[in-house]
Structure 1
Amino acid sequence: MSDWTWDYNTDDHAHVTGGLPPGVIAEVERIATELSVLGRDAEAVGRPTGRSGGLREFDILGGRGFINFLVVPRHECVYVCGITWYE
């Protein structure tokens, strides 16, 4: 079990989640929890493929949107930086 956590990349969570349906927010938080369980291995999840680290992108809800996240090993944290949702 990983000691890693996840958080939004801003103190103002509404800046990232504002206006999104509750189901979308719940799915993003579920994925963020799973990424934090992966720990450092989360650096290779999503796009861009073929390299690890940096800002990552991961599809949500069957391609109806995606999240941008950053894995910071020094903080042992996955930060959700942005959510794009196609209504």
Structure 2
Amino acid sequence: MAEVERLAAELAALGRDAIKVGRPLDREGGLREFDILAGRGFISFLAVPRHECVYVCNVTWYG
């Protein structure tokens, strides 16, 4: 939980540049994915610059 909170805070600190972080690499915006816990999971998020928000949509952990 602490790792997800830390990543969410860092994504929020990026501001408008959060639309360029993670997968997919070939485009900006939309639902993004970012690996967490050394590849043992990922976080899906939506960065919305117009709302000045980053929405964490899903966290998947492979245990």
Q: Does TM, scored on the shorter chain, surpass 0.5?
A: yes
More helix by share: 1
Q: Using the alignment, how far apart are the partners of 1:86 and 1:79 within structure 2?
A: 21
Larger radius of gyration: 1
**TM superposition shift of 1:85:** 0.4
**Larger RCO (alpha carbons 8 Å, 6+ apart):** 1
Percent identical: 75
More strand by share: 2
TM-score (norm 1): 0.71
TM-score (norm 2): 0.97
Runs of 4+ in 1 over 2 A off after TM superposition: none
Root-mean-square deviation (CA), in Å? Answer: 0.5
Which segments of 5 or more consecutive residues in structure 2 lack a partner in the other structure?
Answer: none
